[in-house]
Amino acid sequence: MERSLIERTAAEIARGVNRGEHSAAEAVDAALARVGDVEERVGAFLTVLSDDARNRACAIDERVRAGERLPLAGVPLAVKDNMCVTGTRTTCGSRILERWTAPYTATAVRRLEDAGAIVIGKTNLDEFAMGSSCENSALGVTRNPYDLSRVPGGSSGGSAAAVAGYEAAIGVGSDTGGSIREPGAFCNVIGFKPTYGRVSRYGLIAFASSLDQIGPLTRTVEDAALVYDAMAGYDPMDSTSIDRPVEPTAKGLLESLSGLKVGIVRQFDTRELGDDVDEVYDRAYHDLEALGAELHDVSLPTADYGLATYYLIAPAECSSNLARFDGVRYGSRVEAADVQAMYENTRAAGFGPEVKRRILIGTYALSSGYYDAYYVRAQKARTLIARDFEAAFAEVDLIACPAASSPAFTFNAKSDPYSMYMMDYYTIPMSLAGLPALSVPCGWVTPPGGALPLPMGLQFAAPLFSEKLLLGAAHAYESATKHALKHKPEVGARG
């Protein structure tokens, strides 16, 4: 039976539009119809841009009829709502920006539009991208399409849920400490964080500037490569952008892992995660070996310091970046008798509990008398973590490890900050080192008392600027194991 347009990959949709087998308008209409069918249950979007998307589809169809061939022609795109898109409400999931309209479009989004993708809406997220579950949004609840009683992961939960629930073919998110990879694992999609500086951050509302990176959420590795190829490259508007040629990744993806040396991190012992989770990862490692990879033990001695290091550096940068939201220049304002009271009232009403917590942690770490003891020492630890990865990659080509310590959990299951922060244990070290990393579906578990199987993700990490190798290896693993295809989302592929 032929699959409906919403079930097709981005590569398939683009090929069909370029060949005249269907139009961009048809692809967008199919996606918007799906949004109408399931969005009340999933809640992936904060803003749906139906009219803009249909107008954009007509323009794409005209370009194709004129002879252009676009790598993402007519592909419906979901954009995390911390990225600017001209004339759209851009909220960061926060009350303080609830009514703010972006005056320009983020470079990464503009490049995807230039490649033919069509933005159909802005997706929900943990407020200012601070969270691991998407529960911290002040503006809506997003549910995991594979079990609506569970979280989609965060902070890019809305984009992951939109792609997993067939509401969009591709999504973009931002990853600071795991915010693309963890929702990718929870929602049975590919979550890919490129090398820091590889994709422009211009138009991304900053959380932690030395860590934030934009990347794709897709249903296949091939689609992730197509999105990356369209987005990546130097941008003079971003001072952290890397001026280095981009190696195309979508063509020539690996079909085998033969000869690749894959490192298994000694410090990441999965036996403590429970028998079912341990079994999934153990089987994944055996699959890598069966596909021709050579497995080697590698050591990351400072990996255990990753969490503490991150939760000093990221809040410190958050404290600095969020100082601009004061009720004066843009965003919501709560009037008061004087300016100081207005600042206090605006920020008290505009920021949620997690954002306030991180601002306070960061401000304390940067304060006089504590800067050297906390922030400077954290930066030194970050350097040691990066050196450990360099030493490991002198022995192996890639590292394989968990993307998350559990499958998606139920709402409010991790109400204390520590247990929530621990969800980033396996993803934070790669972010601190600036490495490219991704999550690819690797198996399923059914939790005690649960009726629905839940997806798990295997994380691959590679040396700096090794996106082609990373995506190639993930494609070979995905093609051989086909874990993502073994179960459909609870909302159903056809709505």
Looking at the annotation, which residues are catalytic? 80, 155, 179
Residue 417, number of CB atoms within 10 A of its CB: 14
Asked if 454 contacts 274 with a C-beta cutoff of 8 angstroms, the reply is no
List, in order, residues 6 or more apart from 474 with CB less than 8 Å away: 190, 221, 224, 438, 440, 460
Residue 136 amino acid letter = N
Cβ burial 322-358 (10 Å sphere, 16+ → b, else e): beebbbeeebbbbeeeeeeebbebbbeebbbebbeeb
Sheet hosting strand 294-298, strand order edge to edge: 45-48, 118-123, 76-80, 170-175, 213-218, 190-193, 437-445, 454-461, 398-402, 261-265, 294-298
Sign of the alpha-carbon dihedral angle for 131, 352, 148, 225: negative
Strand partners, 205: none
User: What is the C-alpha separation between 217 and 123, in angstroms, rounded?
Assistant: 12
Residue 5 CA: distances (Å) to CA of 9, 16, 166, 283: 9, 10, 9, 33
What phi, psi does 203 have (nearest 5°)?
95, 0
Asked if 103 contacts 331 with a C-beta cutoff of 8 angstroms, the reply is no
